[in-house]
Structure 1
Amino acid sequence: MTDPRIEAAAKAICAEFMKDSKAVGAARLWTQDAFLDLARASLSAADAAAWRPIETAPRDGAHIDLWVINSDGEGHRLTDAYFGEIPHTCGEYGKYCDSCPPEGNFWIDGIFGQQIFGRIIGWQPLPAPPKDEVLG
């Protein structure tokens, strides 16, 4: 099964070809596989370009995806991260609590609410949500 993103991109590329009367003749010579190959290459390039240097990441609490290198040198994508304070709900804020997190802003795992450790090297915006017709 072909990735639905590639199929959608191939259809969009073909549709763009058909808008130009000069390209229509050339497009007819292309096979479906040629459009799929072009879509694969385009999406691969777009995916690679989506990652941006961490220095350019928003630090306003916006949720983003991060690329983190762990202590073993392995990279992985961490979704829904943000830059801000570590959430803590004891209500004591250090007065009586011995588990309060340090004060300040850190990169936070937005799902588990914990500080992210490792070398963060890149970020990208969250993907677009599904279209209504996908959700039914």
Structure 2
Amino acid sequence: MTDPRIEAALAAYCREPIEEPIELVMAKAIAAADAAAWRPIETAPDGEVWMRNGKVVALVNKTTRHGVMMYSGWGYACGPSGWQPLPAPPEGDVQGNCIAELEGGKDG
């Protein structure tokens, strides 16, 4: 199965009218991909993930204990309704290299 974000972007890109400016077509494709990235909260794995309820989005650490899901970092009355995994860091991530040096005990 193809990534649902790619499928959603392709479906948005293939829509009529073809006369639309490419910037508008690509904006629609990106918006469709962003919307398709959200998954049902019941499928969230334990660990750090992005969670949302409506327009509220937070980085949350989910744990499951005795069949009960707990969300560290979610401070809203309504529970989260969707989740998506954290993105991979960019190649050559300078901040990641800095953190690795700090954890290794190297002085900057």
TM-score, length basis structure 1:
0.43
Aligned residue number for residue 96 of structure 1: none
Gaps spanning 5+ residues in structure 2: where?
1-18, 96-108
Of 26, 34, 59, the residue aligned with 1:79 is 59
Establish whether residue 36 from structure 1 lines up as the match of residue 23 from structure 2. yes
* Aligned-pair CA distance for 1:125: 1.0
Aligned counterparts of 1:57 and 1:76: Cα–Cα separation in 2: 17
Aligned residue number for residue 38 of structure 2: 51
Counterpart residue identity of residue 67, structure 1: R
Asked if the contact 1:107/1:115 (under 8 Å) is kept, the reply is: no
Say how many residue pairs are matched.
Answer: 77
Gaps spanning 5+ residues in structure 1: where?
1-29, 70-74, 86-102
Aligned residue number for residue 125 of structure 1: 85
Check 1:83–1:68 CA distance in 2 against 1; reply closer, same or farther (3 A cut). farther
Check 1:131–1:119 CA distance in 2 against 1; reply closer, same or farther (3 A cut). same
Q: Moved runs in structure 1, 4+ residues, more than 3 A? A: 103-106, 114-117
Aligned residue number for residue 8 of structure 2: none
Counterpart residue identity of residue 107, structure 1: M
Asked if the contact 1:50/1:124 (under 8 Å) is kept, the reply is: yes
Percentage identity across aligned positions? 31
SS in 1 for 2:81: strand
Check 1:116–1:106 CA distance in 2 against 1; reply closer, same or farther (3 A cut). farther
Q: Could you say which structure has the larger radius of gyration?
A: 1
CA RMSD of aligned residues (A): 3.4
Counterpart residue identity of residue 57, structure 2: R
* Aligned-pair CA distance for 1:78: 1.3
Aligned residue number for residue 70 of structure 2: 107
